[in-house]
Amino acid sequence: MTGEYERRKADRQQLAREWQPGEPLPTIAYTEEEDALWETVTAKLSSLHHEVACANYRRAADAVVLNRQRVPQLAEVSPVLTELTGFHLRPAEGTVPAKRFLGTFADSGFYATQYLRPAASPYHSPEPDVLHELVGHAVMLGDPVFADLYRAFGRAARRISTPDAMRELVHVFWFAMETGVVYENGRPRVCGAALLSSVAEMESLDKVQLRAFDTADIVAQDFDDSDCMPVLFAAESVDHLVTEVRRFLTRL
Question: Which of 133, 168, 178, 244 is labelled catalytic?
Answer: 178
Residue type, 217: D
- Give the active site residue among 49, 137, 168, 201: 137
CATH number at residue 221: 1.10.800.10
Number of domains in the chain: 1
Query: Euclidean distance between the first and final Cα of the chain, in Å?
Result: 46
CA atoms of 173 and 8, how far apart (whole Å): 30
pLDDT per residue rounded down to tens, the chain (252 residues): 578 999 999 999 999 999 999 999 999 999 999 999 999 999 999 999 999 999 999 999 999 999 999 999 999 999 999 999 999 999 999 899 999 999 999 999 999 999 999 998 899 887 889 999 999 999 999 999 999 999 999 999 999 999 999 999 999 999 999 999 999 999 999 999 999 999 999 999 999 999 999 999 999 999 887 778 899 999 999 999 999 999 999 999
Output the 3-class SS for the chain: CHHHHHHHHHHHHHHHHHCCCCCCCCCCCCCHHHHHHHHHHHHHHHHHHHHHECHHHHHHHHHCCCCCCCCCCHHHHHHHHHHHHCCEEEECCCCCCHHHHHHHHHHCEEEECCCCCCCCCCCCCCCCCHHHHHHHHHHHHCCHHHHHHHHHHHHHHHHCCCHHHHHHHHHHHHHHHHCCEEEECCEEEECCHHHHCCHHHHHCHHHCEEEECCHHHHHHCCCCCCCCCCEEEEECCHHHHHHHHHHHHHHC
Parallel, antiparallel, or unpaired: how do β-strands 181-184 and 187-190 relate?
Answer: antiparallel
23 counts as catalytic? no
Q: Contact at 8 Å (CB) between 86 and 106?
A: no
**Residue-range definition of the domain harbouring residue 245:** 2-251
Known catalytic residue: 137?
yes
Instruction: Judge whether 50 counts as a catalytic residue.
Output: no
Residue of 193, 90, 181, 180 lying closest to 136 (CA atoms): 193
Rounded Cα distance between 133 and 127, Å, is 10
Kindly name the residue from 132, 133, 198, 201 that is annotated as catalytic.
132
Please indicate whether residue 46 is annotated as part of the active site. Answer: no
Provide the residue type at 91 as one letter. P
In this prediction, residue 228 carries a pLDDT of 83
State how far the alpha carbon of 143 is from the alpha carbons of 60, 98, 170, 213, 236, in Å.
5, 23, 21, 21, 19
Angle between helices 32-52 and 55-63 (to 10 degrees): 140
Directed axis angle between helix 144-159 and helix 163-173, to 10°?
A: 170
pLDDT at 17: 96
State the pTM of this model.
0.95
Dump pLDDT digits (tens) for 45-73. 999 999 999 999 999 999 999 999 999 99
Instruction: Given the residues 34, 93, 168, 197, select the one marked as catalytic.
Output: 197
pLDDT at 111: 98
Tens of pLDDT, residues 171-193: 999 999 999 999 999 999 999 99
244 vs 213: CA distance, rounded Å: 8
